[in-house]
Structure 1
Amino acid sequence: MAIGAQLGLCIALFRSADDRALRIATLLFVISNICFTIDGSRPIAQIFGPAQIALWLIQIGGAGYFWLFAVTLFEDRWLTARSLWPGALLTLIGLSGRYGPHALSEPTWTLHNALGLVLALHALVVIVRSGRNDLVEARRRLRAPFLVLVAVFSIVLSAVQIGAVFGIDPARYEFVNAMAQAFLGIAGVAVLLEARPALFGTAAAAPGTAQDADAPDDSALWLARLRQVIEVEALWRREGLTIAELAKAVGLPEHRLRRLINDQLGHRNFASFINQHRIDAAQAVLADPASATRTVASIAFDHGFGSLGPFNRAFREVTGQTPTAFRRRAIAETSPIPGNSG
């Protein structure tokens, strides 16, 4: 039941996701979970013979792959080499615990399980924290049941694993583990697949899509008002701007503004919507030779960022390079070429 439910969920989510990062994160998470389920049942794992080590190696970084799946799904994060370090680190620690000095085995596995618990807790924090910027209604509704499922499963499972290191090994652990996996997989199918078109698909609505009963077809009017507030009045410059403040300035209920930005402009996250305007304006300043003496930090502060770190991350997400590298290249391209003056 556990393996079948997880395979079905994996296939459905993989086919629904338009984003390459989410597809990869889904595959890593579900495959590691399936390997964990098989490896946790000795009679079934024995069928695989020497290949058991491959199952074990894949599942040992499972908490890291769950973390990657959660932050990719709920924060629309790009997949980078740094995104994979939690799973890789857990795998390395697990290898050390299995093949390292016997005297260090217990503390090594304690570290491994504790790190897995920390990653699970951090993923839950990310899911809650990112909710205020989420523009996808289906994903906003998904957070509560997803949190309940994952919190109960991850925390209880990590606690049992830590207890096993200290000799607390329930006789029916394998059966309980399989039940928990089956429950998670079946509940995941019920929770996720109902919302998957809006949750994993393209954000922008197709032209002519019918409006909800409480949303009259006046989107063009409100879209013009939104552009007035954002582009002309430049409200994006306000540090810490929230969607509630923007909704008040536009004159729309918050839920309708979320739908407007998501359906008409294709943004799934409020922070990415605002940061797009901030980064576009910052690029113009960075590319201007007259502003070459200004620090990157001062430019970040002038464009609504409270510190340099968030500005650097947002700039890299939009442009694929750091502000400093962008400035160096842009100014070099606009500088006159020596020897061409005559």
Structure 2
Amino acid sequence: MGLTALDLGLRGAASGVFLMMVLVLSRLRPLNKHVLLGLAMSAGGAAFAIATAPFIPKSSLWWTMPILSAQPVVIWLWAHITFDDDFVPAPWHGAFWLATVGIGFVVSLTWTSFPAAAHRGANLLAAIAVGLMLAAAVQMVRTWRADLVTQRRRLRTAALVINFVFVVLIAGSSLAPEPITGVGISGSLAIAGGLFMLAMLGGFGLFSAQMTAAARDATAVIAPPDAVGEAAAVTSDAADRASIAPALLRRLEKLMTVERVYRQEGLSIGRLAALLDLPEYRLREAINEGLGYRNFNAFLNSYRIEDAKTALSDQSQRDVPILTIAMDAGFQSIGPFNRAFKAATGMTPTEFRRDAQATDAESEADRIAQSRHGFG
């Protein structure tokens, strides 16, 4: 009974934190896809903690578990939105979630009639969960180096631990030869502990950021900065920039605009810190708090895109291949250049070159016409 009481206590605490997150996130405006995903993860966490608790009638799992079995999809998307500033949810992500829910319903409804097929379906759900958790871990590690947000870098370590807990305890237990109706019993205390840690992780990231009044980071563990008010973000940015030495920002600006070090192949934040003779953490602070960038690659690309725009607008370079311009600006392949350029300008490099050079040609024709008119 003591372990059962601890199990219920952990689940109750986790559910309370998840529901508080739901309340906070539901009051954010605009209520965009990023906030909605945070709401789904928080509400799903609370529902899972309650539905799989001891003494909850297992007969109710036939309709709750199919939906909750798709929760790894939500957590996977949460990891992308949290740790990848360039990630944008696509329609196929929603279709994938619905497909996972559909598999869950098939498993739940056919368990007694076709146990062998249902067991294979349950194993498929567990395999999907394991794959998604591992993919989320890869995402956290892959973008770790370029992350400039101190709080978010610390969050990655805890999130990786939580991922491990979910893979081993939740998805792993589903792979065991046990009926789906036993989910709330087998390993219940371990699952309760994992849910509690996940709730604490999400709650800490959301609530501590709000307490520091950094509005652009108030949803850093759930949503990107476009989910908060613009005025608060401007106030926070101004306070942060005041704490960064102006001389350091000037040195950094000279390296980027005069020496154009962003053109160096494979330029890393460690290399740039060495050029400035600075500890890496201080350079991260300068770029993040002083200039407002959350990602080192976005910082570099801002200079590279401007460099490319200048070249694409230059009539004397109208025959230079776009790949050459991209490589000269510091990009290592055409794909990332095209994506970054369109994200920054709303146009492809080819469209930008055509419009810019057409405008230059019209301006030149107008200048010649005016000159002739004045001469006459």
The answer to whether TM tops 0.5 is yes
Partners of 1:136 and 1:268 within 8 A in 2: yes
Question: What does residue 214 of structure 1 align with?
Answer: none
Residue among 130, 135, 138 paired with 1:122: 135
Question: What does residue 52 of structure 2 align with?
Answer: 40
Amino acid at match of 2:207: L
Amino acid at match of 1:143: R
Partners of 1:35 and 1:58 within 8 A in 2: no
Question: What does residue 318 of structure 1 align with?
Answer: 344
Partners of 2:66 and 2:104 within 8 A in 1: no
Q: Secondary structure at the match of 1:132?
A: coil
Question: What does residue 62 of structure 1 align with?
Answer: 71
For the pair 1:88 / 2:64, whether they are aligned, the reply is no
Question: What does residue 113 of structure 1 align with?
Answer: 126
Amino acid at match of 2:49: T
CA distance in 2 between counterparts of 1:178 and 1:224 reads 51
Residue among 156, 160, 180 paired with 2:194: 180
What displacement does 1:127 show? 1.5
What displacement does 1:104 show? 5.4
Question: What does residue 98 of structure 1 align with?
Answer: 105
Tell me whether 102-111 or 315-324 shows the greater mean CA deviation: 102-111
For the pair 1:75 / 2:101, whether they are aligned, the reply is no
What displacement does 1:233 show? 0.3
Q: Secondary structure at the match of 2:251?
A: helix
Partners of 2:293 and 2:299 within 8 A in 1: yes
What displacement does 1:298 show? 2.3
Question: What does residue 324 of structure 2 align with?
Answer: 298
CA distance in 1 between counterparts of 2:287 and 2:355 reads 33
For each residue in 1:125-172, what CA deviation from the matched residue of structure 2 results, as whole angstroms up to 9, or x when unmatched? 221232211212222222222321232124421111222578895772
Residue among 129, 149, 159 paired with 2:162: 149
Residue among 230, 248, 256 paired with 2:256: 230
What displacement does 1:191 show? 5.9
What displacement does 1:228 show? 0.5
Gaps of 5+ in 2: 1-11, 226-232, 370-376
CA distance in 1 between counterparts of 2:102 and 2:268 reads 45
Question: What does residue 30 of structure 1 align with?
Answer: 42
For each residue in 1:259-292, what CA deviation from the matched residue of structure 2 results, as whole angstroms up to 9, or x when unmatched? 1111121111111101111112112323445444
What displacement does 1:123 show? 1.3
Question: What does residue 140 of structure 1 align with?
Answer: 153
CA distance in 1 between counterparts of 2:151 and 2:341 reads 28
The count of residues paired between Structure 1 and Structure 2 equals 331
CA distance in 2 between counterparts of 1:298 and 1:137 reads 36
What displacement does 1:326 show? 3.6
Partners of 2:241 and 2:290 within 8 A in 1: no
Report the RMSD for the aligned CA atoms in angstroms: 3.9
Q: Secondary structure at the match of 2:145?
A: helix
* TM-score, normalising length: structure 1: 0.78
CA distance in 1 between counterparts of 2:264 and 2:29 reads 34
Q: Percent identity?
A: 31
What displacement does 1:71 show? 1.9
Q: Secondary structure at the match of 1:30?
A: helix
Instruction: Check 1:46–1:97 CA distance in 2 against 1; reply closer, same or farther (3 A cut).
Output: closer
Tell me whether 231-240 or 244-253 shows the greater mean CA deviation: 244-253
For the pair 1:161 / 2:174, whether they are aligned, the reply is yes
Partners of 1:93 and 1:109 within 8 A in 2: no
CA distance in 2 between counterparts of 1:324 and 1:164 reads 57
